[in-house]
Structure 1
Amino acid sequence: MTKQNGVAARPLPQTRRDLLKGTAATAALLGAARALLPGGAWAQEAGPEVRGAKLGFIALTDAAPLFVAKEKGLFAKYGMPEVEVVKQASWGTTRDNLVLGSEGNGIDGAHILTPMPYLISAGRVTQNNVPTPMYILARLNLNGQCISVGKDYAGLGIGTDAAPFRKALEARKAAGKSVKAAMTFPGGTHDLWIRYWLSAGGIDPDRDIETIVVPPAQMVANMKVGTMDCFCVCEPWNLQLVHQGIGYTALTTGELWDKHPEKAFAMRAAFVDRYPKAARALLMAVMEAQMWCEKTENRAEAAAICAKRQWINCPVADLADRMKGRFDYGLPGKVVERSPHVMRYWADHASYPFQSHDLWFITEDIRWGRFEPNVDAKALIGKVNREDLWREAAKALGVPAAEIPTSTSRGVETMFDGKVFDPADPAAYLKSLGIKRAEI
């Protein structure tokens, strides 16, 4: 109120035009605020608790959803503009940085081998066996890995049947030469795929061949100097091996187990528990990126993004074909167009973290001695697998019901050699396997 001659004067009545002007000014002010604050003027109140997180990745094409979420501004879209996607030198480095957490100059989450969050949460692969609780929020992909063999074995034309490889390895050992199979992390997916393939062909991965750990980006260079005879890894390293004439692809892992689960998007449990809204925002960004990566019309651009220096740092030609479904195995006449085993990022429920799949990984790690036969797998999965958060994110994203599984189990799975994994009876599966370290 103003005063006239010392007397408080009543405010003049506002006209309709004045009111409209005031309303318009307020709307303009709020509009400007929304432009400045992702998620609207109240983003700090209703949106994520923090604006960023540190996410690790290994230079592989199944990390594409993280690259795309960063490049396409999807993390920012969901209120997390300060997310850092940081390259890791190896899976061992990923583990160590997850143990540290971003507060210890490490990372909060990662593109990761699906069994690793279990091994880390149980303290099986951490220093002094101290557990670091982890959550799996989503699966990142199905299929997409390969087992490659050195050019010395080109005449054998090795495929899903490793039996011919066994004879060649025996001859090599008899001549006093070492024979080695490379994978990327003990107990991880690549370790389990190559062990399954070798043992199905009658090769004991612990006794008939030496299994060694080599970071993905170093696979081709090591094969070139004869460090190993075969390896299992994701792209682009298998196709790069073919392009350099160093070896050939024996098989894609989808030929071992069609539409098998592979990498996961996992976070430190401490981060998710402390910042649940931020975790959901990260998950939604990754899921939207998976949908984008899945589309055929986006695969060429996805390959170009992956090839960039800050991500995989390789020629586009080393990854484009296989991302689009064309597989040149590096053997005369063996080129598959529109392969059914192309990597899936969203289709076939690729993103949903089925608990039954986590049970298979734990069962295989029991097989090779990473877990004891009496480990309570159900309880461990209950702590690590957060499919409930995936469902919440899917609902928020408006994912159609047909794309959301109705069960936490995908059901009975059949491997290429006829072995059957029934999630209701993992012990029966273990008993059916010939070569194993576990006593069942």
Structure 2
Amino acid sequence: MDIDMPSFATPALPLEKTHLRIGFVALSDCAPLVAAKVLEFGHRHGLTLELCRQPSWAAVRDKLLSGELDAAHALYGLVYGVQLGIGGPQADMAVLMVLNRNGQAITLSTRLARALDDHGTLQAAIATLERKPVFAQTFPTGTHAMWLYYWLAAQGVHPLTDVESVVIPPPRMVDALARDTLDGFCAGEPWHALAEARGAGETVAATSEIWPNHPEKVLACRRDFVARHPHTARALIRTMLEACRWVDAPTHRDEIASWLAKPDALDVPREFIAPRLTGREGGKRFARAPLPVSFFDGGTVNYPRAAEGRWFLAQYRRWGLWRGSEAATADDAAIAAAVNQTGLYREAAALAEVPLPPDTRTDVLCDGATWR
């Protein structure tokens, strides 16, 4: 087993808690958590990690709020939804770092994908269906819901009136597509690869086409956990930075795919995980694979930029999920500054010798809109 990592000296800071229960959902982008556990990166920082697979993002939310989980691999938008109390309990939340960018997709049923080929536009393809189309995402305020809504709107399809949007845990989506109770879904891998392998659907868009290098999963916890355990939180960020660096090395992607295939992780054959995790494939419709999932990229992946949190707030307003105050810009900036633990991340990154990317950047989305 190849562990090509620099040796970091850990300062003598007493940890408030040393055994952490970390939640995850069965998606390929939980790879850094699996690597951190298998290779025990936490031990050099005084931590023992216990990985806890969860059946859904709602379970991740509930167990973070109850304290059963200390932290979790979580949808960026899940954190902000809980912070605002949209559709469930409200709690002050924290984004410790970004775990990955890109790597999600939209798959249509084979019937709808063929109709898209025949008719040229999604609007025309949907008109061939005998019922209102049903599209699935994984959590009402999550990243997958926002990517799906944004993509549909860019195709001229209103995501709340022209289609029925439902929440389904990622491992159940392929079966729903195969049973013809679903016309499309947005989620992470390996479920798109599995849908194509079963002939149930075809991947028609990668989320990196919607927003290149978009933030995806984050390392999340309740904000009072950070307040009570600041040294532990800092050590956890350092641990996960090391894991993200390790996973991002091309020579390690195939190795981590084998670990992800095991029953206590994704429980999916390795051949459905490795091609898209390594960036070799993106689906049979792609002449070239889209931007691959990225976990580190010299540290540019992981900085919890507050502007990216503001993007989710803007989408919640757009789709009527949240009104907020009239002073939207100031209000959103204050919320994002409180949720995204940029100061704590900077401290951990400095200790881990991980460079910081610029605090601001300009992104161009698929409809030509810019965000900064």
Change (3 A) 1:253 1:136: same
Tell me the C-alpha RMSD between the 2 structures: 2.0
| Cα displacement string for residues 398-436 of structure 1 (whole angstroms, at most 9, x for unaligned residues) | 22xxx31232x22x2111221222x3xxxxxxxxxxxxx
Which of the numbers 37, 44, 63 marks the counterpart of 1:77? 44
Are residues 1:218 and 2:180 paired? Answer: no
Whether the 8 Å CA contact 2:245–2:295 is kept in 1: the answer is yes
User: How far, CA to CA, are the matches of 1:373 and 1:145 in structure 2?
Assistant: 29
The amino acid across from 1:121 in the alignment is Q
> Which segments of structure 1 move beyond 6 Å, counting only runs of 4 or more?
none
Whether the 8 Å CA contact 1:183–1:214 is kept in 2: the answer is yes
Whether the 8 Å CA contact 1:158–1:250 is kept in 2: the answer is no
Q: 1:33 — aligned with what?
A: none
User: How far, CA to CA, are the matches of 2:117 and 2:348 in structure 1?
Assistant: 43
Q: 1:437 — aligned with what?
A: none
Change (3 A) 1:157 1:124: closer
Give the Å deviation of 1:373.
5.0
User: How far, CA to CA, are the matches of 2:240 and 2:31 in structure 1?
Assistant: 10
Are residues 1:365 and 2:316 paired? Answer: yes
User: How far, CA to CA, are the matches of 2:116 and 2:301 in structure 1?
Assistant: 31
The amino acid across from 1:420 in the alignment is T
Which of the numbers 94, 99, 108 marks the counterpart of 2:65? 99
Q: 2:121 — aligned with what?
A: 164
Which of the numbers 222, 226, 229 marks the counterpart of 1:275? 229
Change (3 A) 1:157 1:169: closer
| Cα displacement string for residues 289-309 of structure 1 (whole angstroms, at most 9, x for unaligned residues) | 000011111110111111111
Give the Å deviation of 1:335.
4.1
Whether the 8 Å CA contact 2:106–2:186 is kept in 1: the answer is yes
Number of aligned residues: 359
User: How far, CA to CA, are the matches of 1:132 and 1:168 in structure 2?
Assistant: 41
Q: 1:26 — aligned with what?
A: none
Which of the numbers 374, 394, 414 marks the counterpart of 2:349? 394
Give the Å deviation of 1:118.
1.8
Give the Å deviation of 1:353.
1.1
User: How far, CA to CA, are the matches of 2:320 and 2:76 in structure 1?
Assistant: 17
Whether the 8 Å CA contact 1:54–1:107 is kept in 2: the answer is yes
Q: 1:322 — aligned with what?
A: 276
Which of the numbers 191, 195, 206 marks the counterpart of 1:237? 191
Give the Å deviation of 1:157.
5.3
Whether the 8 Å CA contact 2:116–2:124 is kept in 1: the answer is no
| Cα displacement string for residues 19-77 of structure 1 (whole angstroms, at most 9, x for unaligned residues) | xxxxxxxxxxxxxxxxxxxx99xx9x733122111111010111111111011011222
Q: 2:97 — aligned with what?
A: 138
The amino acid across from 2:25 in the alignment is I
- Residues 178-189 of structure 1 mapped to structure 2, 5 A cutoff: 178-189=132-143
Whether the 8 Å CA contact 1:163–1:202 is kept in 2: the answer is no
User: How far, CA to CA, are the matches of 1:197 and 1:181 in structure 2?
Assistant: 12
**Residue ranges of structure 1 left out of the alignment (5+ in a row):** 1-38, 424-440
Task: Report the 3-state secondary structure (helix = DSSP H, G, I; strand = E; otherwise coil) of the residue aligned with 2:135.
Answer: strand
The amino acid across from 1:90 in the alignment is S
Whether the 8 Å CA contact 1:184–1:214 is kept in 2: the answer is yes
Q: Which has the higher contact order (CA 8 A, sep 6+)?
A: 2
User: How far, CA to CA, are the matches of 1:362 and 1:98 in structure 2?
Assistant: 21
Q: 1:418 — aligned with what?
A: 368
Give the Å deviation of 1:384.
0.6
The TM-score normalised by the length of structure 1 is 0.78
The amino acid across from 1:380 in the alignment is I
- Percent of aligned pairs with the same amino acid: 33
Q: 1:194 — aligned with what?
A: 148
Which of the numbers 325, 344, 347 marks the counterpart of 2:294? 344
Are residues 1:384 and 2:339 paired? Answer: yes
The amino acid across from 2:343 in the alignment is D
Which of the numbers 179, 182, 187 marks the counterpart of 1:228? 182
Q: 1:108 — aligned with what?
A: 70
| Cα displacement string for residues 105-148 of structure 1 (whole angstroms, at most 9, x for unaligned residues) | x2111111112222212222324xxx221110100111000000
Task: Report the 3-state secondary structure (helix = DSSP H, G, I; strand = E; otherwise coil) of the residue aligned with 1:245.
Answer: coil
Q: 2:3 — aligned with what?
A: none
The amino acid across from 2:357 in the alignment is P
Give the Å deviation of 1:99.
1.1
User: How far, CA to CA, are the matches of 2:276 and 2:43 in structure 1?
Assistant: 30
Whether the 8 Å CA contact 1:50–1:278 is kept in 2: the answer is yes
Whether the 8 Å CA contact 1:157–1:250 is kept in 2: the answer is no
**Residue ranges of structure 2 left out of the alignment (5+ in a row):** 1-8
Which of the numbers 118, 121, 142 marks the counterpart of 2:83? 121
Q: 2:240 — aligned with what?
A: 286
- Residues 228-267 of structure 1 mapped to structure 2, 5 A cutoff: 228-267=182-221
The amino acid across from 1:119 in the alignment is G
Q: 2:357 — aligned with what?
A: 405
Give the Å deviation of 1:394.
0.8
Change (3 A) 1:168 1:319: same
Give the Å deviation of 1:234.
0.3
Larger Rg: 1
Q: 1:21 — aligned with what?
A: none
Whether the 8 Å CA contact 1:136–1:264 is kept in 2: the answer is yes
Whether the 8 Å CA contact 2:24–2:74 is kept in 1: the answer is yes
Whether the 8 Å CA contact 1:158–1:165 is kept in 2: the answer is no
